């Protein structure tokens, strides 16, 4: 699966990274049938390989880089995660753009 992330509503702060997770439908035991993840590169591209045909939910999240030599800092203005459904078909490469709107902040912040 090849994807592109488009950023609107501002610029991603320096030192932040984007990750994408693909989760498949749950099977009868309650486990994901297939999953994958990828880090988004500096041009907004990512590739998740090895997904079986089926429907997946993509989850794009943004987080600051963590410095193991510094104490954890509270994160302000964390962008809200983005979820998008995608269907993988055997023999075809899925190509879709996921849009991250930086003007939409995480509603769980206090």
Where do we find the tokens 């079986």? 52
pLDDT digits (tens, 9 = 90+) for 33-90: 557 889 999 889 998 888 888 888 999 998 887 776 766 666 667 788 899 998 888 8
Task: Report the distance separating Cα 46 and Cα 20, nearest Å.
Answer: 8
The domain spans of the chain are 2-65+78-101
| 2-65+78-101 classified as CATH 2.60.40.1120 | yes
Task: Report the distance separating Cα 20 and Cα 61, nearest Å.
Answer: 6
Provide the whole-model pTM: 0.74
Q: What is the dihedral of CA 44, 50, 56, 60, to 10 degrees?
A: -30
Query: Any alpha helices (H) in 1-110, and if so which ranges?
Result: none
């Amino acid at each position: 699966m090849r994807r592109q992330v488009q950023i609107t509503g501002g610029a991603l702060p320096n030192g932040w990274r984007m990750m994408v997770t693909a989760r498949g439908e749950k099977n009868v035991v309650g486990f994901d049938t297939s999953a994958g993840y990828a880090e988004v590169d500096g041009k907004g591209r990512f590739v998740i390989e090895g997904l079986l045909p089926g429907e997946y939910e993509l989850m794009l999240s943004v987080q600051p880089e963590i410095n193991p030599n510094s104490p954890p800092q509270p994160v302000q203005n964390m962008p809200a995660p983005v979820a998008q459904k995608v269907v993988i078909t055997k023999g075809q490469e899925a190509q879709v753009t996921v849009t991250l709107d930086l003007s939409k902040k995480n509603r769980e912040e206090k």
